[in-house]
Structure 1
Amino acid sequence: MKDECAARVPDPEGEQLQADLSEDCESDWAAAIRAALPEPEGGFPSQAFSSYSQTACPDSGRSQDEYLARLEKRLDSLHRVPKRTAVPWRAMVIQLSDFSASGHMRWPSEELSVSGWPLDVGVESTPLLEHGMATEHAQQGSAQTFDAGRFGRWLRMMLVSFYTDEEAAVADVFCRSIIMSGGYTNGSAEGRREYDHPIVILGGGMGGLMTAVDFLRQNRKDFIILERYDAFGGTTWRDVANETTKLQTEKGTYVPEYLDPEVHADEDQKTWPSRDSILDMCVACAEKHGLEDKAKFNTSLEKVEVKGDLLAGGHIELSITTEDSSESLKCSALVSCPGVFYNPIDLKWPGREEFGGYVTHGSYDGIDYDKLKDARVCIVGHGGFTIENVRTCVERKSKKIYVVCRHRHLAGPKMVSWMVSGAAVPIPGPFIVEAFQKMYGLLGVDVWTHPVVNANADRSSAVLTQTTTFGVTDIYFLACYYKVCEVIQGEIDKLSKGKVHLKDGKELECNVVMKCLGSHGATDFDDIIGFKFYQGWWVNGEPLMPCMAPAKGVQAKNFAGFSLAPGYAGQIITNRYFIDHPEKFLGVRDWLPKQNRDEHYECNYIYKGAHVLATMVILQTQFPDLSMELAEADKLKAYKHMKAHPLEKHLDECLAEWKMYIKMMKDQGQIPADAEEVEYPYTKENLLEMDQRCQEALKAEWEKMMAKKAKAGK
């Protein structure tokens, strides 16, 4: 959050709340907060949010009473919290962990080992309790309440962005006690539906783990996890990944406890963790939360039947098989997380026996790595596993790598992945194209004219569409720059002795063919689940039968991240919302996009991005409390990411890896020892400059929207 490149959110309410901490602000509660906290070096910066003018934030000119009334309305939407966190909102009575009888708060001495701050400092807290308007309002018996945990997290993220490192540690103690008193939740046991039978979570991969941890944090403990493997981790990491597979995006947001603001990526884990490291993380998370006691391993789902009306005493009956038995299991809700990688897509070509070389799939841990040394490798396909295996072939000393593909997809440079994940606001397409161009320029590729990019004439808007997600890499670009890797658009027609023949007549000499053609989903899942149609992502429109799966490919004009967990988070919160209140779903069910069975497509549960986006937009429009919680969860992405990967540290790591691979290719004889060392195309300066222009564009768009709104109001 302290990183210079962290984007500001053009949220008028959030910005106004933050601006209230400026030196010249006289609002009651802002003055109280200033009095209760150590002042940052140089004071609270009055210009910290000056980029948001009264035009961009028209409420900034309102009177204190008008503003407090608006704040009251906003906080009132957070009333669904446990009673222990319910406090009179205007009094801002925050349940701190260590108030003394005199009304003073003492900083816990064991947490204040910071140079420059005394270990036993008493901070006057009475302004938070006794300021005139707050006391008067409390005496009037106001029942308005707010979520102390949510307020504490917001306050901490805001203040830490103002403080120096040492001061931030003190502010963190203050805010952490608030968070611990409340916790991140938009739901509570109060008023939600309880069930006669357990909830079943199908799948123990990232989606299933995130769902289970979220249930526990919401104090919903009656659930069972069905997992077909003998441990947590899911098909992607236990079956599909190779020994050499690494997480392509950064670790910061790829954690099963993503929705817990207090849990961050393991500092000892590498930035791009290996397969085994990811599996260890999943197992450790499950052990921490006691999920092994709730799991049935080595269990396959064979059939799903809905018995009666699920909202009027009915249930779901599951037929399952284990290693040595078959049984039936009753549940009240079924949250399916089936994953999207099951069976590799395969192609066979004439001449396989004559070829005489090694033919393998580039996934499912089936590669004989010894055969890559000194080999000329032809990789077929251009998705994420192609990107991974270009790296693997370089590391395993292959002489030449050909990538043969029908469509040349865009790959994502590592600093672009970092930039998107660290943005508090989705980054517009033109800036993504510009960021890609810095890397693709090394290869002489104009991204603006790439088939994936659809831009308007002045390039103020750009939509990127491709059938696979962005494989995140830097080594791929290095290998292409030095001609160790060559990308050829075409299709293989046949094989002959030591050669691959393309349909356009080209011949490639090689002795290894590696198929990276993607994977099918679970082709029998639609039938097992009893699928007739999906309404949104709910099976047959049943609010208690959501089915989560990552959307296919890329289709977006604004980009919020390349990582999986933040995308899952929105679905997990929404699933839980309707499990808590299934009757609400019925009112909007028919408005949601509908996916009927496509007989030519075996995995209807894997939706297109537009289908998921439309579903989320409709639901957030209709349910403000759900929208509020999703917005709070969205903030976690940039917060967790920037905490794990501050700009300078991450940039230095990417630069070091860049140089390391250049040296590796020289040492292994893949490029000449005196080859020019190409410079890394991203610098702190060009990233910050691009970020500044992006923020200006977002601000201009916001002002344009507000002006249009004001004009319509007149």
Structure 2
Amino acid sequence: MDSSHEVAIIGSGFGGLGMAIRLKQAGMHDLVVLEKADEIGGTWRDNTYPGAACDVPSHLYSFSFEPKPDWSRKFPPQPEILEYLRHCARKYGVMPHIRFGTEVTEARFDGEAGLWRISTTTGQLSARVLVAACGQLNRPALPDIPGRDSFGGIAFHSARWDHSADLDGKRVAVIGTGASAIQFVPELAKRVGRLHVFQRSAQYIIDKPDRPYTALEQALARHVPGWRQLQRALIYTLLEARALGFIKYPWLLAPAAWRFKKNLHAHIKDPALREALTPDYPMGCKRILLSNDYYPALAEPHVELITDPIERITADGIRTRDGIERKVDAIVYGTGFHANDFLAPMKIVGLDDRELNEAWQGGASAHLGITVSGFPNLFLLYGPYTNLGHNSIIYMLESQIRYVMGCLRAMRHARLRWIDVRPDVQSAFERRMQQAMRDTVWSRGCTSWYMTADGKVVNNWPGFTFAYRNATRRPDPRHFRVRR
């Protein structure tokens, strides 16, 4: 395992694979991809729960350089996305560069040598450049509920679904009602005898315009020149038009609010249940969800929605604050991820032995979401301020990858040992982000995974995606300190 490479990439999801592909296309073959699991795919490898699918249309949820003409549906299901990633890794020759079962525990920058010294569960290696493509949604979060470890039945997080668990006819509790839960709750409702759904806060859920693609549509995408590009451009434009509602004028989300009310009233006839499912915060403050079957599932007689706070998990059930204890055979946690801990639990040490978690004590920050001052030759993909509420993250990732490639070309051309974004440049970017964030809907009275515990939004990009692409079009040499 002890080896040296030009570039080491952590993670083999969309970001890591896209980075590796672009490196190889540019003739940079001295690279290694470090993957802690035994397969590629990132979040689409981990989330195999029933009903798992994407809420971004298929033709936009793919690399621009590798379109897929034969998507089965308008919104891609998890198995199809994972197979697409496998196809990309095989086609572009990335698989030989991947070291599976290799989890990074520490990366320490050696300023004199200009190398990252990387410790993993399978040994040591070094790299001139370190690209962290870990994503924001890769570490499942379990709720801090008293008695959680005392439960004697089946229990697992939705991102680690236990497919061996026999849930048919059983009493099952679901804790959490986020993006994953609204997909697997309807599937569970078809199987279990009794389903208790514990909701902390209501979500805005609108109808999902999903359907299978016809054979004619697939043929057009495969054989008609420009058809795929036109579909992709139309989808992108329609989604991008929603940005103003998130970043500046929340009243522009009124059509989506109307769709929410229509969807809710169409499927929920019980006034009390309808009220419980109505959010008390502005639309868009939390992620807007898409589903056609979540509300119908909650209306089933064997499904119960509970809004009273959970007091304790017992050995054989869940007790809420009103004193009611519901006996269950299994608990499924749909409680999201540690989205603000971007590189945890890795230990990242930069110049002057400074740790990244120390630099990020006030919340994660990176210039353009990519580079962190004091950590030379470290590049983040899907880092702070790069998540979206309205469009495809693949578009953002390709912008970041192009920026990193620009940095690497500049380093090679000028024969630089390392580059490090200047602290004043990063601070200025951070100020612009937080100033822009004040106008967004994400800062208007709700708590979400977009923000830190003290209420600072650090995950999302407060602008148009084309503005981000323009900002990352090429690295500005004036933004960096360099060592030749």
Q: Which residue of 2 aligns with 1:316?
A: 115
- Which residue of 408, 411, 414 corresponds with 2:205? 411
Aligned twin of 1:296: 99
- 8 Å CA contact 1:380–1:513 kept in 2: the answer is yes
The answer (yes or no) to whether the contact 1:246–1:272 under 8 Å persists in 2 is no
Indicate conservation of the 8 Å contact 1:421/1:560, yes or no. Answer: no
- TM-aligned CA distance change 1:243 to 1:560, over 3 Å: closer
Aligned match of 2:461: 613
More helix by share: 1
Alignment of 1:88-103 (within 5 A): none
Cα 1:241–1:610 shift into 2, 3 Å = closer
Name 1:577's counterpart in structure 2: 406
The answer as to 2:12 corresponding to 1:204 is yes
Q: Quote the sequence identity (%).
A: 17
Which whole-Å CA distance do the structure 2 matches of 1:610 and 1:618 have between them? 20
> 2-side partners of 1:434 and 1:446: how far apart?
16
- The structural deviation recorded for 1:528 is 6.0
Partner of 1:67: none
Equivalent residue pairs, number: 393
Letter in 2 for 1:425: E
How far did 1:502 drift? 1.0
Separation of aligned partners in 2, 1:352 and 1:200:
38
CA drift at 1:592: 1.6
Supply the AA of the counterpart residue of 1:342: R
Aligned-partner SS, 1:500: strand
Q: 1:515 to 1:232 in 2, by over 3 A?
A: closer
Structure 1 residues 560 and 500, CA gap change in structure 2 (3 angstroms)? closer
- Offset, 1:439: 1.3
Is residue 229–residue 298 contact of structure 1 (8 Å, CA) maintained in 2?
yes
Deviation at 1:404, TM superposition (A): 0.8
What is the TM-score normalised by the length of structure 1?
Answer: 0.47
Q: Which one of the candidate residues 295, 313, 316 is aligned to 1:477?
A: 295
The answer as to whether partners of 1:203 and 1:227 remain within 8 angstroms in 2 is yes
CA shift in 2, pair 1:426/1:379, >3 Å? same
Name the counterpart of 2:189.
Answer: 394
Once the 2 structures are TM-superposed, how far is the Cα of residue 401 of structure 1 from its aligned partner?
Answer: 2.3
Deviations 1:616-658 (A, max 9, x none): 999859959559xxxxxxxxxxxxxxxxxxxxxxxxxxxxxxx
Aligned residues of 2:75 and 2:210 also touching (Cα < 8 A): no
Q: Deviations over 1:529-559 (max 9, x none)?
A: 74134433323355631222366998x8xx5
The structural deviation recorded for 1:474 is 1.7
Point out where structure 1 has 5 or more consecutive residues left out of the alignment. Answer: 1-195, 454-462, 596-600, 628-714
Q: RMSD across aligned C-alpha pairs, in angstroms?
A: 4.3
Q: Secondary structure at the match of 2:261?
A: helix
Give yes or no for contact 2:134–2:381 (8 Å, CA) kept in 1. Answer: yes
Deviation at 1:569, TM superposition (A): 2.8
Partner residue of 1:431 out of 245, 249, 255: 255
Of 40, 44, 52 in structure 2, the residue corresponding to residue 237 of structure 1 is 44
Q: Does the 8 Å CA contact 2:366/2:426 hold for their aligned counterparts?
A: yes
Matches within 5 A, 1:550-569: 560-561=390-391, 563-569=392-398
Shift in Å, 1:608:
7.0
| Structure 1 residues 488 and 580: CA distance shift in structure 2, 3 A | farther
For 1:514, the equivalent position in structure 2 comes to: 332
Correspondence for 1:248 among 54, 74, 84: 54
List per-residue Cα deviations over 1:246-290 (Å, max 9, x = no partner). 2232432333xx131xx3225154555554443332222111001
**Secondary structure of 1:423 counterpart:** helix
**What amino acid maps onto 1:242 in structure 2?**
T
State the SS of the aligned residue for 1:252: helix
Change (3 A) 1:501 1:204: same
**1:535 matched to which residue of 2?**
366
Q: Give, in whole Å, the separation in 2 of the partners of 1:572 and 1:224.
A: 16
**Cα-to-partner distance string for 1:571-617 (whole Å, 9 max, x where unaligned):** 3333333444477965844422179xxxxx9x99xx97656526999
Q: Within the alignment, does 1:385 sit opposite 2:385 as a pair?
A: no
Identify the match of residue 593 of structure 1 among 404, 427, 430: 430
CA separation in 2, counterparts of 1:361 and 1:400? 19
For residue 344 of structure 1, report the CA deviation from its aligned partner: 4.0
Do residues 334 (structure 1) and 130 (structure 2) align?
yes
Q: 1:501 to 1:284 in 2, by over 3 A?
A: same
Cα shift at 1:513? 2.7
Note the C-alpha offset of 1:380.
Answer: 0.8
In 2, the alpha carbon distance for the partners of 1:567 and 1:200 equals 21
Distance verdict in 2 for CA 1:321–1:499, change over 3 Å: closer
| Compared CA separation, residues 358 and 306, structure 1 to 2 (3 A) | closer
The answer to whether the aligner puts 1:267 opposite 2:70 as a matched pair is: yes
Q: CA separation in 2, counterparts of 1:341 and 1:327?
A: 23
SS of corresponding position for 1:560: coil
- 8 Å contact kept, 1:541–1:589: no
Structure ranking higher on relative contact order (CA contacts 8 Å, 6+ apart): 2
Q: Is the 8 A contact 1:495 1:501 kept in 2?
A: yes
Cα distance, 1:338 vs. partner? Answer: 1.6
Shift of 1:503: 0.6
Cross-structure match for 2:142: 345
Q: Secondary structure at the match of 1:465?
A: coil
Kept in 2: contact 1:203–1:228 (CA 8 A)? yes
Check the 8 A contact 2:198/2:305 in 1, yes or no: yes
Number of the residue aligned with 2:36:
228
1:287 and 2:90 equivalent?
A: yes
Does the Cα contact within 8 Å between 2:403 and 2:472 map onto a contact in 1? no
CA shift at 1:208, angstroms?
0.4
Instruction: Say whether the 8 Å CA contact 1:199–1:223 is kept in structure 2.
Output: yes
Structure 1 residue 478: Cα displacement? 1.7
The alignment partner of 1:370 has SS state of coil
Long gaps (5+) in structure 2: 212-231, 246-252, 412-418, 434-448, 476-484
Q: Using a 3 Å threshold, how does the CA distance of structure 1 residues 227 and 590 change in structure 2: closer, same or farther? A: same
Alpha carbons 2:169, 2:192 under 8 Å: kept: yes
Aligned to 1:525, which of 346, 358, 374? 346
Distance 2:82 2:466 in 1: 36
* CA distance in structure 2 between the partners assigned to 1:544 and 1:474 by the alignment: 45
- Inter-partner Cα distance in structure 2 for 1:472 and 1:618: 24
Residues 412/252 of structure 1: CA separation in 2 closer, same or farther (3 Å cut): farther
Contact 2:74 2:210 survives alignment (8 Å): no
Q: Distance in 1 between matches of 2:100 and 2:145?
A: 35
Contact 1:543-1:578 within 8 A present in 2 as well = no
The superposition leaves residues 410-440 of structure 1 with CA deviations (integer Å, 9 ceiling, x where unpaired) of 3353229999766163213233323333312
Q: Give the CA deviation at 1:514.
A: 2.2
In 2, the alpha carbon distance for the partners of 1:334 and 1:615 equals: 28
| Alignment CA distance shift 1:564-1:470 (3 Å) | farther
SS at 2:109's partner residue? strand
State the distance in 2 between where 1:401 and 1:553 align. 36
